[in-house]
Structure 1
């Protein structure tokens, strides 16, 4: 595969049962590239290994004063030099290509898994571990995939050299053939402790990365309570633990490197000593001794690759284990039902008993923001994983079909959940709103069947007029076009209310079958909130919309209000009805205690807070 062909059309389905199986699967996905790298590796190392032959012939030619043999050996060395250069260049190109393509494959797998699980991923895997897999672990996995071809070429060439030496000079060849396997296997007892130390270092590094991510994410809160120094001390302590673990790991690998230098040196001394005795006795010629000596010196080169592959595997195995653990996460059912198009109908949550009628605006009052967030995630097809090993909660039903049974694309196209703290990616406003419409083209209950919601309609409904004006004034190209204005990472250049409204506009442009909004107006003023409520009701007419809120301005515009305290539906009706008949609901909405002495019940025809505000 060429780099210009990236990204992969389909990264495949990984074998994520263990880290070793994942590495093997990754290797099998690029057998062609590995075969090419192995071929060029054999050309390179084979040419290097062949140098002792013309060198020995040249020495013997000088001893015998044979000019023809000397010229022949010189031409052979020149030819081998060309092969060494060509093989080295092409081996490097092929190995690096394998490294990049394998890393790109894992990146695509991680991206696909992220889109499949959504916000449920960070509840099942620590954010620091995901960051570690997406950064440092990819480099180590790619290193192992790259080193395999070089190791294979070195192993094949070493076997060939040993066999050639036994045939060329049996006495010295047997010494070399018996000594090389001993040298290659001598470091095996040291690999398990080295791997354990590398695993400990990786684990500590992952914890330090997670701590750093949490500290950065909560830096504003930490500064508010004066706790930044405390967390800085914790991170400093964690980083020192990582440093000490890295030093312990480096000491073990230094010992392995030392063994790989000392033992081959002893073999070389033994071969020279025995070869000199044979030469003195006249049993071998001087040129043959030089050839054998040069071959033994060459064998020190592939032994370095043995050390590299051992180190690469020890470092990549925990990285592959973490990557496999992330890639093994699945949706509860994984899409068992083959559905044509996007399903439609009532949205029902069997856990809470909530039912959002198709084509209507349903407001949900929980009273607890965390409970509302969990309910929103469940409505979006992300049920929480049980921690006690019990059976997972039943899936939300859309038109009678469990969301967990739908294919991923169908489930994502059916329900869109906007979090209470939506994320705006960096880029222009036009890029932010350039999202595909996920709902069906023709809905039976849709008012306008010809056109989908366009950007202008969505921005108007979300009351983004002042945001567009501010972006137009801040346009970097002086064009005055707000669509060309850039939004910084996570929308840091915008206020909380502006971010909420732009996120709402993006959700409206997506035009999903079911739109779930978790506190979409918590950061805007009451006047803007009232206009957003009117715009939302108008633009989502005939479409299923669920708003989790306790704002009277939004509740008064809803077709139906459902009160869900403690995770179960307690009452349902209109906002006015619940205000007059349900004290607990009234307490949540008006922020007052439901047992306030002397507080009269609100008559059904009494003015609502919205009406009082509009009258004022």
Structure 2
């Protein structure tokens, strides 16, 4: 038994589509060789059967030697037995090669899309990744199988050609010249088939884009009565995909017709010429029967050759999409093995990189500095941030969490070091951002709250209690073992927000950024959440971006950011309420007081 998924292996850098196909086959060459050997034995058993039957007729029945007849009959039976036995091994090898390729390509797509994240939407068609994961991975998984099909078809063709030439140069020449000539017609269809399959794939990708976008905004569509508009738009894209599929059908149907034409022409031609040669004494009856069998057999290698061409065309189109994804530059490159990005190095360089108020700090009294706004987060403090403009609040959170492309004019320093100089994996480990509307994945509630499986149930429940979400766990059958649907559809907006906040607490980052963590809950729940968050994160740097007085009131310090995105006031919540009219206006507006 072979364990799946396959160990991950990255394809070579700047690999071409053809290079990707070759690399994919090399990665599993052992099972590809096994499948190819099975294919060869399987097909040769069929190829030699007409030859053995002809010998049974000539050396047994015609010559009256029944011992020879039984001997050759035994050979025929053995050939059929080995064909039947090898069929099971051949099917198994094909399944193994398919699953290994599927696993490998699926991992490549998943890792590449997670590496480039939103850059994929910038450089590729919005539905491209969905199409890769659904249809392209399928097309590529047949490549390893068809290596054996192609090799066995060529070997069996060569074997039959040698036998035919030995018995009759005329008939052998007919097969050797005729089959490749007819098969060459298939390759003339490749250009048309390839172009039309690319068009069909693009149409399918556009259809998937409409479906994906609509699924994301289904609630909004319903709210504005946009269902009919969506259906019309999807119907249009679906019709385009259908029409593109029809265009693909023409060259494919011609290819299928050619298979029948090639086989029929060979059977008719060989039988007619063979019968003439028998009447002239140049061919025996057994050889004629063998030639007739060869003509019928040649249908199979021709079919396999046609299948190999079709699979290669589809796989090449799919490989072009995969290599396109691999070429997308991520917004935040990963500097693997960069020791300069470590915490000790960051502390050593803090004296060099930390500046504020026009001079260097002799001591570093802050964990994080956002140079654009002037916001400082001190080590171990719970900092409240009130922002008048929602867009400025989102921009601030994205900068601190490095959720947007690095900007040299908007430097954020973590313990003195520019975030842009740190490996993105380290940033994600040390700084966690919790959005107002968190994305909840399907799985058990335990997996939703602790995706990496690092915490025990006691720790998970403590984080759940900190965000006042114990009632959610108690209300579902199975507790933490309950299965949660995609995006947490069974939970309300407030419940999803609390579960997302609990998940961010359980990540235990060096710096936690909570963006409007209580915007979807009622006042009493908000008060308990604010107190719970403060208690849970005591002694660790935490930023809560909010305009709620209940949240800002539990903060050690509050910073007010104006419409230009700059810190204009700092202090305790009560102090700012008394002294800063702008701050008072932001908080009162959040409370609905004009």
Bin for the TM-score computed over the shorter chain: 0.7 to 0.9
1:595 aligned residue: none
2:42 matched residue in structure 1: 44
SS at match of 1:131: helix
Correspondence 1:118-157 to 2 at 5 A = 122=121, 125=124, 128-157=127-156
Query: Alignment partner of 1:416: what SS?
Result: strand
Match status 1:516 vs 2:513: yes
Counterparts of residues 122-521 of structure 1 (less than 5 Å): 122=121, 125=124, 128-331=127-330, 332-336=332-336, 337-338=338-339, 346-349=367-370, 354-384=375-405, 396-403=412-419, 405-407=421-423, 409-436=425-452, 454-471=459-476, 475=477, 482-521=479-518
Equivalent pairs, count? 569
Structure 1 gaps of 5+ residues are: 386-390, 440-450, 477-481, 593-608
SS for the counterpart of 1:41 is helix
Offset from partner CA, 1:143-169 (integer Å, 9 cap, x none): 233222222221222223223322343
- Residue aligned with 1:9, SS: coil
Normalising by structure 1, what TM-score? 0.83
CA distance in 2, matches of 1:156, 1:400: 67
Q: What SS does structure 2 have at the residue aligned with 1:187?
A: helix
Distance change in 2, residues 1:212/1:538 (3 Å): same
Q: 1:68 to 1:368 in 2, by over 3 A?
A: farther
Structure 2 residues not aligned, in runs of 5+: 348-365
Q: CA RMSD in A?
A: 3.2
Distance apart, 1:296 and its partner CA? 2.7
Equivalent residues of 2:11, 2:20 under 8 A apart: no
Give me the whole-angstrom Cα distance separating, in 1, the residues matched to 2:453 and 2:291: 72
Q: Which residue of 2 aligns with 1:25?
A: 23
SS in 2 for 1:209: helix
User: Do the aligned residues in 2 keep the contact of 1:453 with 1:509 (CA within 8 Å)?
Assistant: no
Equivalents in 1 of 2:400, 2:23: separation in Å?
A: 36
- Residue of structure 2 equivalent to 1:447: none
Q: Quick check: 1:163–1:177 contact (8 Å CA) kept in 2?
A: no
Q: Compute the displacement of 1:33 (Å).
A: 1.0
Task: Give the corresponding residue for 1:552.
Answer: 549
Following the alignment from structure 2 to structure 1, what is the Cα–Cα distance between the partners of residues 457 and 480?
19
**CA positional deviation for 1:25:** 1.8
Q: Residues 594-609 of structure 1: matches in 2 within 5 Å?
A: none
Residues 590/253 of structure 1: CA separation in 2 closer, same or farther (3 Å cut): same
The residue aligned with 1:92 is: 91
CA gap of 1:517–1:265, structure 2 versus 1, over 3 A, is same
Specify whether residues 184 and 364 from structure 1 end up closer, same or farther in structure 2 by C-alpha distance, changes over 3 A only.
farther
**TM-score, normalised via structure 2 length:** 0.86
Q: Please tell me whether the aligned partners of residues 119 and 328 of structure 2 are also in contact (alpha carbons under 8 angstroms).
A: no
Relative to structure 1, the CA distance from residue 147 to residue 380 in structure 2 (aligned partners, 3 Å threshold; closer, same or farther) is farther
| Mean Cα deviation higher: 311-320 or 86-95 | 311-320
The equivalent position to 1:7 in structure 2, one of 2, 5, 10, is 5
2:25–2:143 Cα contact (<8 Å) kept: no
Give the conservation status (yes or no) of the 8 Å contact 1:437–1:511.
no
The Cα of 1:236 is off from its aligned counterpart by 1.2
CA shift digits 1:373-412 (9 cap, x unpaired): 4543443333249xxxxx8887754334454554554333
- Residue deviations 1:424-474 (CA, integer Å, cap 9, x gap): 2334433333345889xxxxxxxxxxx999223312221123323433xxx
**Alpha-carbon distance in structure 2 between the residues aligned to 1:257 and 1:138:** 24
Secondary structure of 1:511's counterpart equals coil
Structure 1 residue 371 displacement after superposition:
4.8
Task: Quote how far apart the aligned CAs of 1:571 are.
Answer: 2.5
Task: Give the deviation of 1:272 after TM superposition.
Answer: 2.8
* Cα distance change, pair 81–393 in 1 and its aligned pair in 2 (3 A): farther
* Cα distance, 1:585 vs structure 2: 5.2
Question: Per-residue deviation at 1:321?
Answer: 2.5
Rounded Cα–Cα distance in structure 2 between residues aligned with 1:151 and 1:499: 54
